[in-house]
Amino acid sequence: MLRIPLTLRSARAAVALAALTTSVAGATLAAHPPAAHASPYLISMMMDDDRLLYRSDRTRDLALAQMKAIGVQYVRVTLLWSTVANNSRSHDPAHYPARNWDRYDKLVQHARGLGLGVYFDVTGPGPPWTHGRAPSAHTRTTWMPKAPEFYTFVRYVGRRYSGRFRNRLRQRLPRVAMWALWNEPNQGGWLSPQWLHGKPYSPILYRELYLSGRKALDDSGHRNDFIMAGETAPLGVARHTTTSGMYPKIFVRELFCMDPGNRQGCNAFDKFGPLRASAWAHHFYTKKLPPTRRDGPDSITIANISDLGTLLDSAAATTGHVAKGLPLMSTEFGYETNPPDPLNGIPLARQSQYINEGDYLAFINPRVGSQTQFLLFDAPPLRQFRRGSRKYWFTYQTGLLFANGRPKPAYAAYQLPFIANPAGTDPATGQRQVSVWGQLRFRPRPGPVGVFDLNDFVLIEWRPPSSKSWRRVGVPLPASNFYGDNPGGFFQGKVDVPGPGFVRAHWLAAAKPRNRASREVPVG
């Protein structure tokens, strides 16, 4: 069970979000670096490339508007090298077909208009000439990508989204100021070989790719942007083949040359200097496990999120190849559901519970600066395969909405995350106490400092198991920004309850949407 401390967690000094200087609808996200006593600010992000990039303009615009309405602040977007290089034979990205960039140009333009930030994960696979000759067909697109070619590509991307570039329609494109370089470099589907002759090899490749890509962003005017390393996957396998996923702890140790027995490629740090990053991005999935249950010793999920910071700090202390105290960003998280997927999914109510618990675990870690929901909509199954087979359900059903747009319970739970657990007995009243925590995510920016807004209070309600009628317990909890110390709209406290039953958070206000209730949480 998740235990909730008595006060809001306030030490987020490690999360240097001041680097996020992206101007969204004319307003800077973080104008000043958070001080050591600054209160929580957990950026709400979402990723759904299918809806945002590969459907119609109308589908993209509707998805962005829906994300905005439920509290998303940034969209994570895969800027896929092979997509913009499609049908091109040029080694110069400036000569890629101009229309290939339209999907990204339109996205940043429309997101800007809605006040949403965009962060690009610039990644391979790239076109055929940008990587080595693979020994087999199944690794031909990911085999040994060439860092100099990646530098050229990233530099052009940086120039295009510098805020000064005009596209083929002579429109000035908005600036993008939040980046990551490569996706899941510890997975064979994105980078290979993972292992070569039984030794880790993907960290060697990624070291060159990241350092080259980082220099490309520096050289294209993005030196002071928020640039993330990592984008690592949470799990791995015990096999050591060219495509076997590498456990993230092994990957990080090898990346920073912590193993004195394997120094291959470590001279890259002599050439480029330490790995400079604003944060380490990681995908904290647990698959079907609860957010509180750890996986294997070399895995890093939301359950052992602190292990990643500890490991990075150890690399800083022993090698000097990375800064100590590097912030962590959760850049993919979610749970597949059954329905619709009977093979990989968990029950719908459990999805709601787990994503809320994941929000809370990210919140209480002072080093974590974001939580990212992977998919707004479920991805449709692959209907060319036998219905119900693993290949049929190869796509992801982590959405808050089914593929047809019908909301899952998690759609509401995402907008108003809520956690509650028993907290003993109130010595003054003799009644049971419950600790509660939550967030008005759909209302992510409470009123200005020094102003109490009655729209930023939350009621806690209780009902017995035998009744559907709710009654208020305790006093309304503030989720306001009166003292300038709660920009994320979080609330927290303790309430007395008459006995076993269910509790929920209930937001009632004159402001739209006027009435929102969290999921119901049983308390014994």
Domain boundaries for CATH 2.60.40 within the chain: 419-523
For residue 71, the model assigns a pLDDT of: 95
Q: Read out DSSP for 284-321?
A: ---TTS-TTS---TT---GGGHHHHHHHHHHHHHHH-S
Residue with tokens 């996200």: 29
For residue 372, the model assigns a pLDDT of: 98
Contact 370, 408 (CB under 8 A): no
Domain boundaries for CATH 3.20.20.80 within the chain: 42-415
Pick the CATH number of 42-415 from 3.20.20.80, 3.90.100.10, 3.30.379.10, 3.30.450.20: 3.20.20.80
Any residues with CB less than 8 A from the CB of 524 and at least 6 apart, and which?
A: 422, 500
Give residue-wise pLDDT tens across range 182-238: 999 999 999 999 999 999 999 999 999 999 999 999 999 999 999 999 999 999 999
For the 419-523 domain, the top CATH level (class) is mainly beta
Give residue-wise pLDDT tens across range 272-286: 999 999 999 999 999
Cα–Cα distance, 272 to 264 (Å, whole number): 15
Of 139, 394, 141, 391, nearest to 243 by C-alpha is 139
- Tokens standing for 286? 């647990």
For residue 262, the model assigns a pLDDT of: 82
Distance spanning both ends of the chain, measured CA to CA: 12
Hey, is 396 helix, strand or coil? coil
Whole-model pTM: value is 0.92
According to DSSP, residue 218 is labeled I
For residue 286, the model assigns a pLDDT of: 96
Below-70 pLDDT ranges, the chain: 1-40, 444-448, 450, 452, 482-484
Give residue-wise pLDDT tens across range 387-413: 999 999 999 999 999 999 999 999 999
| H-helix or E-strand spanning residue 108 | helix 102-114
For residue 447, the model assigns a pLDDT of: 62
Hey, is 60 helix, strand or coil? helix
